[in-house]
Amino acid sequence: MDEKGHFVAPTPHQSLLAKLCPSLLARAYTYFASYHYNRFRRKGDKTDLERGIEYDWKALALRTIGHHSHRYSSLLNLAIVIRARFYQWNVVEDDLREVILLNREALALCPKGHPSHVKALNGLSHSLFMSYRSDRTMRDLEEGVEYDRKALALRPIGHSHRHNSLLHLSNFLRARFELWSVVDDSKEALLLSREALALCPKGHPSHPRALNSLSYSTFLSYRHSDSASDLEESARHAKDALALSPIGSRHPQRYDSLLSLALHVRARFERWSVVDDLRELILLNCEALVLCPKGHPCHATALNRLSYSLSVSYRHSRMMHDLEEVIRHARDALALSPIKSRNHIESLNRLAVSLSWLYLNTHQRDDLEQGIEYDRKALSFRPIGHSHRYDSLLNLALLVRARFERWSVVDDLREVILLNREALALCPKGHPSHARALNGLSYSIFMSYRHSGTMHDLEETIRHAKDALALSPVGSRHRISSLDNLAVSLSWLYLKTNQQDDLENSIKYTRELISLRKTNLDLSVYFWRSGKVKEIDQAVEYARKALALRPVGHPQRGPSLYHLADHLLARAIHFRGMNDLEESISHSREAIDLCLVGHSKRLNALAIHVDALIFSYTTSRNVGVLEKAVEFAKETIVDFRPGRPSHIKWLDRRCHAFILRYEQSGEDRDWEECTKYLRQTLTLCPVAHVDRPSFLDTNANTLLDRYNLVGSFNLLEEALKYAREALDFRPPWSPSRSTSLKTISNVLLVRYDRLGETSDLEEAIGHDREGLRLCDVDHLSRHHFLSNIARCLKNRYESAGNGEDLEKAIRYAREAVGFRPPGSHCREVALNALAIALHTRYTHFGSEDDLEEAINHSGEALDLCPDGHARRADILESLAVQLQSRFKRLGCLDDLEESISCCREVLLLRPVTHPQRTVYLDICIQGLQMRYERLGQRGDLEEAEKLRRDVVAVPSGPCHS
């Protein structure tokens, strides 16, 4: 190239003919070049193409700069053959740059008015379009549009080559619409394609090309309007173009027609999910690959298209052989594609995505790491300024996010947020991927909120999700992600604000999501957060439908199984459905078998299975079931990862199994292991952590259980400290405040029983009243507050003697029983509270009806608490006292015998260290004393005397006399 930018062809040694008649020799070289180029187009032999390029260079060398009027012709010819070499082998650094320079010089030699000016304009615009497709540089696209508009203006209506300029310009406008989604570009491209087709009727050599152009333009119109008629018209034109080159034809237009039709069939499948469309999509891409065998310039492109269609098939069927074929074709395409070429980047992206899917099946970290490596390479080939850099940013963010969700490395979370923020900056409002970028950033910030509990993260999550939903009308491919993000984040906002509108909107978006997805969604979150009974049946129904969509062999069957198991367990707990419980155990066990060690969802399956086994133990008291629960609980702790908030929650819940075994066996090691992990939850959750109040409540309840076993007053004080801290974290508008109110009320009531301080009783009553205000008539926790306030008011009546307190206690207790009909969870608590209140009224007013009703309720409650039940001892104590009262009134010895039997069982259930053991001893002594007075058996008197000595031996401490 000389100083002015003109090409100077190499001239080693000119022959005599070249010196005497260079024009004639140049024409001969041009002829030979044309011959070899045409033979290359027929046979695809690279040697022919290289010979053609060589002859064109020789012709250019003979047509020197400034001295030959046909130099422009050699420049254009040479540009065509080198462009063909670039198209075939993608030597980006050399051929494409050289082609553009050749075309620019040719255009400079063919100014406006020159007979080849339009040809030079088209040649340069064609080269610029190829440059844009390779580097995605916007200036190439805009410059190409400018040249094509000039060429079209020079070919007015009636010009024999006007159709070529129309097709060229429509191609550029479609590319610009795909980049910026400017509707005017789509409309203009459609108008130009329609005019071109009108100029190329059936029989015209460019008729198939015009049909394909109109098909693409109509498809872009469908992408914007979501009109089914546009999609059908687009497919019709593609089929017409395909019909013009019959099966077996090697016509180059058949390949283009196959790809065009495949595009529309894919869109039709995505819209209506008809399996026949999926099969047709794969067949079309298979034929396209046959038409482009190895060595063909489009072979790598055909491999990538087939790989994509098989990935669609995999997402639909989850068949592993589809995924394996996707990976194989993508690897082949990558090996054939020169570095930085469009096919190279597309192959990297396809491999990254498919390896992430493989990771979901194999749970081999290497698969995920390799996918991330491929996405990083793709991003490196799209530097700052590349028009498709945002796409690589979003793809990489997805895989790094998957790694964070599995291994909880905080640096991964930070990187995900940074990648999504950069992608959003590259996709401003109006960009076709703006909604996608908003959804990516929304979800990544929500992950940050779940990790740190920072409120502004949740607010930003909701803001981005709302913006994305506003940009995603019904039918938009981004609407599902927007609905999902918004539904989940609003449900978490409800936990913070207790605004019912947040919960209702969350449920509304979730229902729409279900109608769009027709797959599994976890509605149990709304059941637990709203406390509404009606939601659990819907959760079970949706989970069953989801499982039906994932038959045996489906890679996502495991998560569907444990979702259903979780919902069934919730229903079993609250309505004592033993069939639901058995089904929950079965499904969660199957989920564990499907989620092998290392599976990202194995911990979820293990946790639900442990919960189901624990509930089964509490109803059956089968020690074998408890041992199984402990073994599975140990595995959940082994798989525990501190960086995962949900894992901290599982750690918190799994300790329940160790508590139960401690209660059953009395082994201190179970208690020590349990408390170690419970305290760890508080260490891992700083003061601002969103889950800290839940863990504080659990610690308080666990310490209260321990206090009931060993009677250490320090445990009771520590439990109260945690309960107060949990309540302070939950302001009056928090929907979870009722949980903390229930905890602190229980602790205060136990401390009142121990110390008899009226302030504890009054505070407990205040918390119970607030709990009743927060829990309306169909809230699942209402019965707890009704039963608690009944006990508190009964205690206050005994202390202060206000008869109104006793009547209110009975009324609240009756409401609690009515709220817990036969078969309901915790019915025995409400029955016991009512029985105690009725017996108290009997002792003061002597109504036999109160006594009989109290005994009946205690008997029913005892039937609900078989051997080993945690509440059996409390109910036995109440029944023993009530039976003694009836013996005193009616003198029936059977009542006294049963009372003494109940007392003896209570003493066996309550260890020597229990804080209320002296109360149980006193009741038993009274029964034995009465039987001695009735029957005169010295053994009763001796047993009573022994029990009195036990009372003296009970460890002393602060106690309510």
Residue 406 belongs to a domain with what CATH number? 1.25.40.10
pLDDT for 7-45, tens place per residue?
A: 555 544 456 566 667 788 888 999 999 999 998 877 778
Report the 10 Å Cβ neighbour count for 467. 18
Within-domain flag for 32:
no
Do 426 and 393 form a contact (C-beta atoms < 8 A)?
Answer: yes
- Give me the pLDDT at residue 520, please: 44
Q: If pLDDT is split at 50, 70 and 90, which confidence band does 638 have?
A: low
> Which residue carries 């507050």 as its tokens?
785
Rounded Cα distance between 676 and 672, Å, is 6
pLDDT for 352-376, tens place per residue?
A: 999 988 887 777 889 999 999 999 9
Within-domain flag for 180:
no
pLDDT for 546-564, tens place per residue?
A: 788 778 877 678 888 988 9
pLDDT for 609-632, tens place per residue?
A: 988 998 888 877 788 898 898 888
More confident site: 487 or 13: 487
Residues 542 and 499 in one domain: no
Q: Residues 6 or more apart from 707 whose CB is under 8 A from it? A: 713, 715, 716, 719, 750, 915
Within-domain flag for 910:
yes
Within-domain flag for 136:
no
Q: If pLDDT is split at 50, 70 and 90, which confidence band does 961 have?
A: very low
Do 337 and 344 form a contact (C-beta atoms < 8 A)?
Answer: yes
- Give me the pLDDT at residue 7, please: 53
Give percent above pLDDT 90 in the chain: 43
- Give me the pLDDT at residue 643, please: 46
Q: Does residue 522 register a pLDDT over 50?
A: no
Chain centroid to CA 688: how far?
24
Do 34 and 49 form a contact (C-beta atoms < 8 A)?
Answer: no
> What's the domain count of the chain?
3
Rounded Cα distance between 29 and 35, Å, is 10
Range of the domain at 508: 389-517
Report the 10 Å Cβ neighbour count for 877. 24
pLDDT for 695-715, tens place per residue?
A: 888 889 888 888 877 778 899
Q: Which of 266, 252, 268 is nearest to 305 (CA)?
A: 266
More confident site: 860 or 663: 860
Residues 506 and 394 in one domain: yes
Residues 481 and 507 in one domain: yes
Residues 562 and 491 in one domain: no
Do 838 and 857 form a contact (C-beta atoms < 8 A)?
Answer: yes
Alpha-helical segments (H) within 63-161: 71-89, 97-109, 117-135, 138-153
Residues 513 and 545 in one domain: no
- Reading the block at residue 851, the tokens are 């006594």
- Give me the pLDDT at residue 813, please: 94
Q: Does residue 524 register a pLDDT over 60?
A: no
Residues 466 and 563 in one domain: no
Residues 401 and 508 in one domain: yes
For helices 645-665 and 623-638, angle between their N-to-C axes, nearest 10 degrees: 150
Please say which residue of 563, 587, 622 terminates a domain.
622
Do 280 and 231 form a contact (C-beta atoms < 8 A)?
Answer: no
Residues 543 and 513 in one domain: no
Rounded Cα distance between 169 and 165, Å, is 6
The helix or strand, by DSSP H or E, that contains position 617, with its residue range, turns out to be helix 602-620
Please say which residue of 557, 591, 622 terminates a domain.
622
- Give me the pLDDT at residue 419, please: 96
- Structure letter (DSSP) for residue 621: -
Residues paired with 532 in a beta bridge = 779
Could you give phi then psi for residue 7, rounded to 5 degrees?
Answer: -75, 135
Whole-number average pLDDT of the chain? 84
Residues 553 and 505 in one domain: no
Residues 916 and 951 in one domain: yes
Q: Does residue 790 register a pLDDT over 90?
A: yes
- Give me the pLDDT at residue 209, please: 92
Q: Does residue 526 register a pLDDT over 70?
A: no
> Which residue carries 């192959």 as its tokens?
347
Within-domain flag for 381:
no
Q: If pLDDT is split at 50, 70 and 90, which confidence band does 499 have?
A: confident
The helix or strand, by DSSP H or E, that contains position 750, with its residue range, turns out to be helix 737-755
pLDDT for 199-241, tens place per residue?
A: 999 999 899 999 999 999 999 888 777 788 898 999 999 999 9
Q: How far is CA 120 from CA 102, 140, 146, 293, in A?
A: 10, 16, 13, 33
Within-domain flag for 913:
yes
Do 281 and 262 form a contact (C-beta atoms < 8 A)?
Answer: yes
Q: Does residue 533 register a pLDDT over 60?
A: no
Give percent above pLDDT 70 in the chain: 88
Within-domain flag for 324:
no
Residues 416 and 506 in one domain: yes
- Give me the pLDDT at residue 165, please: 93
Q: How far is CA 548 from CA 312, 520, 539, 648, 774, in A?
A: 20, 10, 14, 31, 38
Residues 488 and 403 in one domain: yes
Q: Residues 6 or more apart from 637 whose CB is under 8 A from it? A: 651, 654, 677
Within-domain flag for 737:
no
pLDDT for 862-876, tens place per residue?
A: 998 888 777 888 899
Angle at 133 between CA 131 and CA 135, to 5 degrees: 65
Please say which residue of 590, 622, 654 terminates a domain.
622
Determine the average pLDDT of the residues in 95-105. 90
pLDDT for 406-446, tens place per residue?
A: 777 889 999 999 999 999 999 998 887 899 999 999 999 99
Q: Model's pTM, two decimal places?
A: 0.63
